Structure 1
C-alpha cells in the first residue's frame, strides 16, 4: 500500500478532517503503526469552543486557531498524545475526580511515552521524573496530596479589621485615609484589584495551565462497557501489528499490556475475603425448625460468630488521605455486615502508633491515621500476639514498600496494595489486591 492510498483512506468517511491532521495520521500509520491504527478509530471534529484539543473515547476535537499555531511535528505528537489517553482508558476511569487534576495526572502519565517514541510535543509539556512509570491514579493521588500540603503551609490571612473611619482634626477637617486603604469615595486604589467575593472573573483573567494542550473528557455514551472492551481489543491488535513490523518500543509494549489488564475491584475482593473468614455450614446443633412439626430433624445453616476483624493502616505517609478515607468506609461496612467479635484498627509506620478497639454492637467512629515515619510490617503481627487478639483475618493497607515478617501467621492475611501489582513488592504470604481509588 503506497502513501497516496493511505492518505485517501485516512481522509475517507470524514470530509471534515483537517488536511494537516489527516496528513499526520498518515505519517503515524507509516512510522508509528501503533498510534496510527488507533488514531483512525477516532472521529475528528473541529470545535472552536475548545481551548486546544480534547478526546472522549470516540471523538477528537480541536480548536482550528490552536492547530494553526502548531508545527506539523507538534500536530503529530498531539494526535499520538490524544490516542494514548483513550488507549490507557483515561476516558473511562475519571469517576468523581476533579477534571483538571485528572487531566494533569493523565498528561504526566503518557507524555514521557510519546516523547520516548521520538515525537515532538509543544513547549511547556507536563513532564516530571517523579511520575514516570506511574499510573494516572497514582499521580492523581500525589497531586492531591501535594495540593493539600501546600494549602496547609499557606499562611492564614489576618483577621479582618473594622474599617477605620476618617477622624476629624482639631480644626474640624477630615484626615485623609491611611496609605494603602481604599478611598471612601470610589472604593478604588491604584494597581490591579483582586476579585471580590461573588465577583465574576473575566475569561482573560482565568488561570491557565500552559503545559496542558488537551482535555480528557469522560465518555458519555450508554454503551461505555462495550466501547471500553472494543478499545482494549484494538490496543492489543495494534500492539501485535506494530510488534510484527518491529516498531513497538519496550515502554509502549508495557503500556499496552497494562492498558488491557483486567480491572479487579478491590472492594469486592475485600468483602469476599472477609466473608470467607466467616464460614457457614449446616449443623444439627441448631435443627431446622421448619421441619420439626413433620417429625424431621434436619440440620440448619449455622454461621458461628467470627473472631476479631483486624485492619492495619500504613501511617508512614505513603498512603494518601483520600485512599485512607475510602478504606475506612470499607472497614465500617465489613464490621456492620459480618459483626465480628471485635473490630481492631491499628496504625503503623515502623511501630504501632495507634490502636482502636470496637466491640460488637458499637457504632465506631474511626479516628484519623496517626504516624509519619518509615515503613515496616512486623510490629502489628507482634502486637496481635502480645495483646492476645483472636483474628479471623487481618487486612493491611500499604504501598508494600517495607520489611515483612519472617514467619507467616496462622490466620488469613490480605495485603491491600496502593502500588500497582506489576511494580509492588511481593508479600511472602497472604493474598494481595491492588487498591485503586
Structure 2
C-alpha cells in the first residue's frame, strides 16, 4: 500500500472517526490501469501516478469521497443505469458532504448547488433529462412533452406508437469511480454496510464530530430500500375485492363430501392512471412508469385502463378495453400543475374506478374532497420533502 494512503487513512481514523471507521473496511489495491481511484464495496483501488499528483489533504478528501460512495450504497444501486452518468450523479451527491465535513477535494471535483441535498437517483434523472434535451437540440428534434395543439384533450386509443431513446454521456475524471459490487450477495453486503454506517455515525457522534449534513445523510443511507414497482402492483391488487363464496365451491374438498366456499376475485372495474405532464416528471421516470402501467394492466386485468395526462388541465385521454394491447402515447402537456381536473373528469365519465394512481411531484392544488375510491400518489419528490396529500396513500418513485 502507498505510504501516503496509509498515512491519510490513519489521519481519518484520528480526526474524522466516521470516515476512518469505514475506510478500514475496504481492501486497498494498487491499480495502475485506472485513471484515478475506484471503489466497489469491497476494494479501494488507486493509480499511484494519480496519487502522486494530489496533496495530502486532497488525498484524504478523496478517501472520504470513496467511503461515502459505499456508505450511500452507490455500488449496489447502479442497476441498468449508464455507468458514467451514474458516477457523475453520485459525485454531485456526496462531494458537498465531504466539503461540509471540512475536507479538501482534488481540483475539478463535481459540485453544483442545484444538487445539494439530493440523492444520486434524483440527480441522475436530471442529468439524463438534460442530456436528452441537448441531444434533441443538436438533432433539431422537438420536445416530447409539448403542449397540446387544441383546447380539448387529445384522445388516443390502443395502437398508437410511443418510444424514447437514451443518449450516451461523455466521460469525466473523478477522484473516486463507482464500480458495481462484484459479489452475488448484494443484499447482504448492503445490509452489512448499513449497520457499519450507523455504528460509525454513533461513534463519531459520541466524539462530537458528526456534522448535521452528515447526520442527515446517514439517516437517509440507513433507510431500507423499497421497490416502488412492487408497492404499486400490491396497491392495485389489493384494490380488487376478494371474498369467499359458496357459488364457487372449493374443489379440493368436494371428494370428501365437504361443500366449502372458495376465494375468488370478481372482475376488476376501471383502473385510472394520471401522468403529471407539467414537465416536473422527467422522461425516464415517465417511461418507467408507463412500463409499470402496462404491467399492472396485464396483471390485474381491469375492465378498462384509463390513462390521463394533466398539467393544469387534462391534455390527453387514452382508454384501453380489457384484452386490447396497451401502447401508450408520449406524454402531452407542459404547463403548470393542478390535481383537480383528473378527478373531475373521472366523475364526468360516470365511472367509479377500482383505483387511481397519480404520478406527480406533489406540487399542485389538491381537490377539496376525497373521491369514493382508493388513490395512490406516486411522488417523484422524496417523501421527506414532498407535500402531504390530504387523502390516499403516497409512495416515493425515484428511478
| TM-score (normalised: structure 2) | 0.90
Residue among 275, 278, 283 paired with 2:245: 283
**Is 1:128 matched with 2:128?**
no
1:35 & 1:302 partners in 2: Cα distance? 55
> Structure 1 stretch 21-30 or stretch 96-105: which is displaced more?
21-30
**Is 1:305 matched with 2:289?**
no
- Displacement after TM superposition at 1:20 (Å): 0.7
1:241 & 1:289 partners in 2: Cα distance? 60
- Displacement after TM superposition at 1:404 (Å): 1.5
**Is 1:428 matched with 2:369?**
no
Specify every segment of 5 or more residues in structure 2 that has no aligned partner in the other structure, as ranges: 142-168
Residue among 313, 316, 321 paired with 1:354: 316
CA contact (8 A) 1:348 1:371 kept: yes
Q: What secondary structure, in the 3-state scheme, does the structure 1 residue paired with 2:312 have?
A: coil
In structure 2, relative to structure 1, the CA distance for the partners of 1:388 and 1:54 (3 Å cut) is same
How many aligned residue pairs are there? 372
In structure 2, relative to structure 1, the CA distance for the partners of 1:156 and 1:346 (3 Å cut) is closer
1:415 & 1:314 partners in 2: Cα distance? 11
Match of 1:184 in 2: none
Match of 1:150 in 2: 134
Match of 1:235 in 2: 197
CA contact (8 A) 1:312 1:397 kept: yes
2:315 & 2:184 partners in 1: Cα distance? 47
CA contact (8 A) 2:35 2:173 kept: no
Match of 1:85 in 2: 69
Question: How do 1:275-424 residues align onto structure 2 when only pairs under 5 Å count?
Answer: 275-288=237-250, 296-424=258-386
CA contact (8 A) 1:312 1:395 kept: yes
Match of 2:165 in 1: none
In structure 2, relative to structure 1, the CA distance for the partners of 1:295 and 1:35 (3 Å cut) is closer
2:343 & 2:333 partners in 1: Cα distance? 17
Specify every segment of 5 or more residues in structure 1 that has no aligned partner in the other structure, as ranges: 1-16, 158-206
- Displacement after TM superposition at 1:410 (Å): 1.3
In structure 2, relative to structure 1, the CA distance for the partners of 1:358 and 1:73 (3 Å cut) is same
Residue among 201, 204, 220 paired with 2:182: 220
1:416 & 1:430 partners in 2: Cα distance? 11
Match of 2:47 in 1: 63
In structure 2, relative to structure 1, the CA distance for the partners of 1:306 and 1:24 (3 Å cut) is same
**Is 1:47 matched with 2:31?**
yes
For the pair shown, the structure with the greater C-alpha radius of gyration is 1
- Ranked by relative contact order (alpha carbons within 8 Å, sequence separation 6 or more), the top structure is 2
Q: What secondary structure, in the 3-state scheme, does the structure 1 residue paired with 2:354 have?
A: strand
Please, what is the CA RMSD of the aligned residues? 1.8
| TM-score (normalised: structure 1) | 0.82
- Displacement after TM superposition at 1:213 (Å): 2.2
- Displacement after TM superposition at 1:214 (Å): 2.0
* CA displacement, residues 84-119 of structure 1 (integer Å, 9 cap, x when unaligned): 000000000001111100000000000000111111
Residue among 211, 218, 223 paired with 1:249: 211
2:116 & 2:338 partners in 1: Cα distance? 25
Q: What secondary structure, in the 3-state scheme, does the structure 2 residue paired with 1:371 have?
A: coil
* CA displacement, residues 271-329 of structure 1 (integer Å, 9 cap, x when unaligned): 11111111211112334466667765432333211211000011111111111111111
Residue among 90, 110, 114 paired with 1:106: 90
- Displacement after TM superposition at 1:425 (Å): 1.5
Q: What secondary structure, in the 3-state scheme, does the structure 2 residue paired with 1:300 have?
A: strand
1:418 & 1:208 partners in 2: Cα distance? 26
CA contact (8 A) 2:29 2:46 kept: yes
